[in-house]
Structure 1
Amino acid sequence: MTLAPRQIHLDFHTSEAIPDIAANFDPRTFAETARKAEASSITVFARCHHGWLYYPSKRFPELIHPNLKNHNLLLEQVRALHDAGIKAPVYITVQWDYHSAQTHPEWLIRKPGGAHEGVPFTEAGFRQSLCVNTGYYNFLAAHTEEVCQLLGKELDGIFFDIVGIRPCSCSACRAEMKRRGIDASNPDEVRKFAKFSIDRFKEKMTALVRKQNPDCTIFYNAGHVGPCTRASRDAYTHFELESLPSGEWGYLHFPVTARYARTLGLDCMGMTGKFHTEWGDFHSLKNQAALEFECFRMLSYGYAVSIGDQLEPYGVLNPAAYQLIGKVFHQLKEREAWARPSKALVEAALVTSEPIPCEHQIPESVFGAVQLLEELALQFDVVDLEAPLDQYSLVILPDDLAVTPEYQRKLNDYAAKGGKIIACAKGGLNSENAYPDCFGASYQGKENLWPSFLLPRGPMAKGLAENNEYVIYLQGERIIPAEGETLLTLREPYFCRTGEHFCSHQYTPSAKGAEQPAAVRNGNVIVFAHPLFTQYRENAPFWCKRLISNAIDLLLPKRLVRHDGPSIMTVSLLHQPQHNRVCAHLLSYAPIRKSIQIDVIEERTKLHDVTLELNLPYPVKSAVLIPQGIKLPVENGRITLPQIDGYEIVSFELV
């Protein structure tokens, strides 16, 4: 299934305390506003987080918004959009419903002590979560079935929102856990049951929808897609990655999840918002440069694009918001043929250590690794432990990736076939604190004295001062060569900083003593003793990035692409075999923390005379700048772009 490329996600969470809901709604104006903005799909609403319906329900007439002036709002939205050639999937909330939470306390998710999950009813907000193992499921099923029957063949899709892994100790969950022999006092077991429950819910709900409509799209939103999603992916038709950088997600969440989700075999779409902050920020507009970057970045991964908005209570889309959206969508429309459909051209895999039974728990090591590797222009996916490795030339294991003996055998087999591996700290250790045989290194436990001071020499000193001592602030591991050789050494401080003995403002300096191994190389495997990715996430020492880059160069001297631009520039390669071309998507925007709450982008960052060096697996015939159509000379695999104005695409036509 191929998604509509330019979408709007339209919230309508509207209080019953507000009068005259949708009083000014006009279907023609609504659809024309969307058409002028070049939207190809708008997700409209059947039921909101306040618990109200926006269609003429026969099964639940008491739940129609009490102040809704037009009970046919949903129907008129869908039909007006269809008349304009725009798709209109339908929004249904799942775990947040304020009306149900108030009127059916027996449906609430309960903590072990009996209190409900989420905010107290005495505070503002509708985040009192509901359990799908209670009678609430029967209501959801009947409501969803009614929406499907109401729209019939006019139903383009359903967006189920707030469908997360939420441990619950309500009476229904406790009873089922007891029947299944699950220890309800063990938080880990309860969380596993919660994941089982929500995966089962998705399977049942998809089956219910399919009985009514065999073709519509189906998506379950938890604000995140990760290893927790793999087991239930057959319940989805596609993935939508909600990731508003000016909200709780930040600018680094999307590249982590996008690089992972695209490996699961479904079409993908990113989702940001037109808001200066996030959802519910009615009367704000995002800076155009920020909205460009967020949308262009989605396209650079081969994704469709969705922009979130919220319809005001009187039912009229904000003209200024759709002028802004239209400016960005117009640029996307010019470029999307060089991104969709496509397959990411990659050379490496970062194996995520994100825990499977959890959502929104991306480890700092993974954030740091993605940031660092993007700055190096390495072309990589983020994969989980189930993913095959043979398609990748290089596998990278982050600092905290614990693995099973079975996965260690997988790594050994991969290395034996010529695959390259870089690991940091505990990456690749099993439960008995042993590395895979292919590492050629022996794990000796945690460092006794820290911080360590690394001494790069030879190829590991490229871009650094040879023999200078570079501090690694975080405690590392002690490793010694077994079959491998020492690639990098360290010195220890005089002592650790404690209340009994300390020196100066921070850490104790190097004692200039004997050198010890800081990295071991065993053929095509390199293991570092320190958590370099977590360290980069914490305070971004340039020497951490340089050490990783030098290790990659030793194992993978010919990367797919390099450039001489600044670290804020990103490069994504997309292969389009149907057009016999590879497209390089180049982005140059700089988020700046100029406020307490959010990073801000106010303008594009223009770059001049940037050279790309390519080592594609296919011979290149020519290079064209898109959408300008300007040909660029290719000399020995190199091209120079006179200017990068925020976003440029270079299409490499293949022989």
Structure 2
Amino acid sequence: MDKILIIISLITTFSFSQSQLSIENHLRTRQVHLDFHTSEHIPNIGEKFDKKNFQRALIMGRVNHINIFSKGHHGYSYYPTKIGTQHPNLKFDLLGKQLEACKEINVKCPLYFAVGWSVLDAEQNPDWVMKDENGKMLTANLDLNAKPNDIRPHYSWKCLDPTPGGGYHNYILKNVEEICKRYDDLDGFWFDIYHIKPYSFTSYSKRRMVEEGVNFNNTDEMEKSFALALKDHMRELRELVEKYHPNATVFFNSATHIANKSIFKEALYEMNTHAELEDLPTTWGGYDKLPLEAKFHLGKGTPIVAMSGKFHKAWGEFGGFKHPDAIKYEAAAMISFGASCNFGDQLHPSGEMDFETYTNIGKAYEYVEKIEKYGPGGTPYSNLGVWLSLDHSADQGLVNMLLQLHKDFIVANENNLDKLDIILIPSKNNISQNQLKILQDWLDNGGKLIVFGNGMLDSSNKKFLIDLGCEYISDSPYDFDFTTISETIGYDIVKTPFVNYDSAIRVKLTDGKPLGMIREPYFNRTYEKYSSHRETPYKLEDSSFPSAVKKNNTIFFTHSLDKLYYDHGMRIHRQLLENAIEELKINQYVNVINFPSSGRISLLNQEKNNRFILHLLYSPPILRADKVQVIEDFVSLSETFVEFRIPKKVKKIYRVPDYKEIDFKYKNGIIKIKIPNFKMHTAIVLEY
């Protein structure tokens, strides 16, 4: 039986990978995601839909791909259906009309299908709603005891369980098969809402866990069981779509986000034909969320689409407008990090397209048309790797430092160490025994390592997995501490003790060299003992515990500098990282000189085209309101230089989008050029 399962798995994997190879060839670059979540209490649905106006809007927006809706969050379908329920106030096949309109002007149009949030299905089938251990319905931001006229929170619903073994899974399959049979040559499906809850106690999920022998007192086991069941659900959907439309794209939203959750750890993203990376940087995710996720999925060989919205504050808001300059910057950033572009919109219930929206998107996509050949199809290229810990504050804090230092990176794993000269290990351990052996071999053969905090401690947090020149003693008894730094890594850092808002672990030197020491406070701040406004002052002598240790090709920081930077953003901590990289004498492929810290760089290799592309972006996000960032000012930059140490013979260098050629010479294996004046974005192409 096991052999049969293995063969089936191999066949499935092969067919998926074969179809994925063709995706990159027709994954369009200028996309829109068109929401249409429409209440049954609104009349005359779609009555103002006009094919010519719909096409006009897409042409104005320079859109070549739009995700349109088959079934929305309210649970209604927008086409005649015998399986589901057509919206009661829709009198015609709106989906069919949109498909016809798109095909006439050669616009790709995958179909949106709501899964985890479907109000009608939840109301009519309460047994499909996720339950907790006590049988209570699981909800998102919803009060089950609210009165009819109480204000309903935004984004609130009963969470549905689509795992196999339950009626909802079968219902979804029947819906999707009906759509596949009804319409010819579908471009794809876009399935939404898979991130809701980590596990479920519906009757069928509970039955599955019992059959699998899951320990109900072990959260990890329950989460893994649910994630793998979701993966089976996705696999069946993917196979169903491929049966009728073998060239169609298939995407399951939420499976691509990097997180310490089973939905990511069990690689549910493998069920996608491509990865779509959702973000609304003005209010959630931020402008530095995309680079890490883009580099991860591109590193897997997966084509990517970056998704934002035309909205100012929230997904789906009516009347919310992001300025065209902000859309243009986001679109340029998407291309820069190797992604196709997608901006969300929501169609008015009347079916009438908003031309202002597509005018704004069109201004951005006019620029994208000029640069789109120089992003998608490229892979991140760097000799510096970041090992994922799956602790968000650790990973993102480290990434934030690297982005601001213009130290380009790729995501390191056991399969790409031969491409790397240095790896940075965040402050939470996420290294298996097999990975550890490969990592140790790489280190023994000249690899260089920077480690933070607990990143190299074993599962008991008592012993280092790699010899860092010190031994673990204990955690600190203090809530905070201070650091004094040696001259070795002390460039541009104060010589007096500086505060760390969380304390370091205590280690004892063996044969490592201390690069800094811990200065401890007199005592923790308590009601019994305190001094001044905040942290207690430091003692006048260093402790015996180092803050940084160097041994051979490794530097170890006893603080979680990554988390400290994520939470507090103190420049000294970022400078420590930069100095450590310099101390290990790493020559990165790109060194950018005189470029603001809020500028961003991305080096891509388009091997098929024999060229590298260095993208430079500059328009710093501004905090305009509580938790609202905007892009507003495009400032001209004129004195930026770049040094390239590319391991290829460069034949020609020019700038995009104006194709102005740049003169260059090699000196000691280095190409140094001055970047011509630019605003917001430019790309430097190096043909080899």
TM-score range, shorter chain: over 0.9
Tell me whether 627-636 or 104-113 shows the greater mean CA deviation: 627-636
Q: Which residue is 1:243 aligned to?
A: 279
Give the CA deviation at 1:388. Answer: 4.1
Q: Which residue is 1:602 aligned to?
A: 632
Q: Residue 262 of structure 1: SS of its match in structure 2? A: helix
1:415, 1:438 within 8 Å by CA — same for their partners in 2? no
Q: Which residue is 1:359 aligned to?
A: none
Question: CA offsets per residue over residues 37-93 of structure 1, 9 Å max, x none?
Answer: 111101111100000111121333xx1001013x22111111111110111111111
Question: CA offsets per residue over residues 183-242 of structure 1, 9 Å max, x none?
Answer: 234333221211111111111111121222211000000174236446334421101111
Structure 1: distance between partners of 2:234 and 2:590:
40
Any residues of structure 2 matched to 1:438-517 within 5 Å, and which? Answer: 438-449=467-478, 451-465=480-494, 467-515=495-543, 516-517=545-546
Any residues of structure 2 matched to 1:196-595 within 5 Å, and which? Answer: 196-222=228-254, 224-226=256-258, 228-229=263-264, 231-354=267-390, 362-383=391-412, 388-432=416-460, 433-449=462-478, 451-465=480-494, 467-515=495-543, 516-563=545-592, 564-595=594-625
2:384, 2:410 within 8 Å by CA — same for their partners in 1? yes
**Amino acid in structure 2 at the alignment position of 1:67:** N
1:425, 1:529 within 8 Å by CA — same for their partners in 2? yes
Give the CA deviation at 1:28. Answer: 2.1
Structure 1: distance between partners of 2:253 and 2:502:
36
Residue number among 95, 105, 110 corresponding to 2:126 in the alignment: 105
**Amino acid in structure 1 at the alignment position of 2:192:** D
2:256, 2:275 within 8 Å by CA — same for their partners in 1? no
Q: Which residue is 2:648 aligned to?
A: 618
Structure 1: distance between partners of 2:644 and 2:485:
28
1:223, 1:242 within 8 Å by CA — same for their partners in 2? no
**Amino acid in structure 2 at the alignment position of 1:107:** W
Q: Which residue is 1:358 aligned to?
A: none
**Amino acid in structure 1 at the alignment position of 2:347:** L
1:643 matched to 2:671? The reply is no
1:402, 1:430 within 8 Å by CA — same for their partners in 2? no
Unaligned runs of 5+ in 1: 355-361
Give the CA deviation at 1:126. Answer: 5.0
Structure 2: distance between partners of 1:339 and 1:463:
36
Q: 1:524 to 1:327 in 2, by over 3 A?
A: same
Structure 1: distance between partners of 2:415 and 2:499:
35
Equivalent residues, number = 641
Q: Percent identity?
A: 29
Give the CA deviation at 1:13. Answer: 0.4
2:65, 2:108 within 8 Å by CA — same for their partners in 1? yes
So what's the TM-score if we normalise by structure 2? 0.90
Structure 2: distance between partners of 1:405 and 1:578:
36
**Amino acid in structure 2 at the alignment position of 1:345:** Y
Structure 2: distance between partners of 1:127 and 1:295:
31
1:47 matched to 2:68? The reply is no
Any residues of structure 2 matched to 1:60-139 within 5 Å, and which? Answer: 60=84, 63-69=85-91, 71-118=92-139, 119-121=142-144, 122=146, 123=152, 127-133=157-163, 134-139=166-171
Residue number among 169, 188, 200 corresponding to 1:157 in the alignment: 188
Q: Residue 631 of structure 1: SS of its match in structure 2? A: coil
Structure 1: distance between partners of 2:129 and 2:479:
48
Q: 1:99 to 1:449 in 2, by over 3 A?
A: closer
Give the CA deviation at 1:163. Answer: 2.1
Question: CA offsets per residue over residues 560-582 of structure 1, 9 Å max, x none?
Answer: 22222110011101112233221
Question: CA offsets per residue over residues 247-300 of structure 1, 9 Å max, x none?
Answer: 432333222322222222210110000001121211121022221222211111
Question: CA offsets per residue over residues 331-372 of structure 1, 9 Å max, x none?
Answer: 011001122321211122211221xxxxxxx52111111110
**Amino acid in structure 1 at the alignment position of 2:55:** A
Residue number among 194, 218, 223 corresponding to 2:226 in the alignment: 194
Question: CA offsets per residue over residues 506-550 of structure 1, 9 Å max, x none?
Answer: 112221214531111111111100011111111111110111001
Give the CA deviation at 1:386. Answer: 5.9
Structure 1: distance between partners of 2:549 and 2:434:
23
Q: Which residue is 1:180 aligned to?
A: 212
2:310, 2:357 within 8 Å by CA — same for their partners in 1? yes
Unaligned runs of 5+ in 2: 1-22, 147-151
Structure 2: distance between partners of 1:161 and 1:615:
43
Q: Residue 686 of structure 2: SS of its match in structure 1? A: strand
Structure 2: distance between partners of 1:537 and 1:448:
23
Q: Which residue is 2:686 aligned to?
A: 652
Give the CA deviation at 1:303. Answer: 0.7
RMSD of the alignment, in Å? 1.9
1:412, 1:436 within 8 Å by CA — same for their partners in 2? no
2:303, 2:376 within 8 Å by CA — same for their partners in 1? no
Q: 1:116 to 1:250 in 2, by over 3 A?
A: farther
Structure 1: distance between partners of 2:466 and 2:35:
53
Structure 2: distance between partners of 1:568 and 1:627:
22
Give the CA deviation at 1:399. Answer: 1.3
Structure 2: distance between partners of 1:105 and 1:53:
20
Structure 2: distance between partners of 1:491 and 1:59:
69
1:408, 1:428 within 8 Å by CA — same for their partners in 2? no
2:654, 2:660 within 8 Å by CA — same for their partners in 1? yes
Structure 2: distance between partners of 1:271 and 1:217:
16
Q: Residue 620 of structure 1: SS of its match in structure 2? A: coil
**Amino acid in structure 2 at the alignment position of 1:205:** L
Give the CA deviation at 1:457. Answer: 2.4
**Amino acid in structure 1 at the alignment position of 2:167:** G
Structure 1: distance between partners of 2:409 and 2:369:
26
Q: 1:518 to 1:126 in 2, by over 3 A?
A: closer
Q: Residue 625 of structure 1: SS of its match in structure 2? A: strand
Structure 2: distance between partners of 1:386 and 1:136:
39
1:147 matched to 2:179? The reply is yes
Structure 1: distance between partners of 2:303 and 2:518:
46
Structure 2: distance between partners of 1:386 and 1:441:
25
**Amino acid in structure 2 at the alignment position of 1:32:** R
1:412, 1:438 within 8 Å by CA — same for their partners in 2? no
Q: Residue 437 of structure 1: SS of its match in structure 2? A: coil
2:471, 2:509 within 8 Å by CA — same for their partners in 1? yes
Structure 1: distance between partners of 2:56 and 2:605:
35
Give the CA deviation at 1:450. Answer: 5.4
Give the CA deviation at 1:135. Answer: 0.6
Give the CA deviation at 1:497. Answer: 2.1
Q: Residue 114 of structure 1: SS of its match in structure 2? A: coil
Structure 2: distance between partners of 1:632 and 1:623:
5
**Amino acid in structure 2 at the alignment position of 1:561:** V
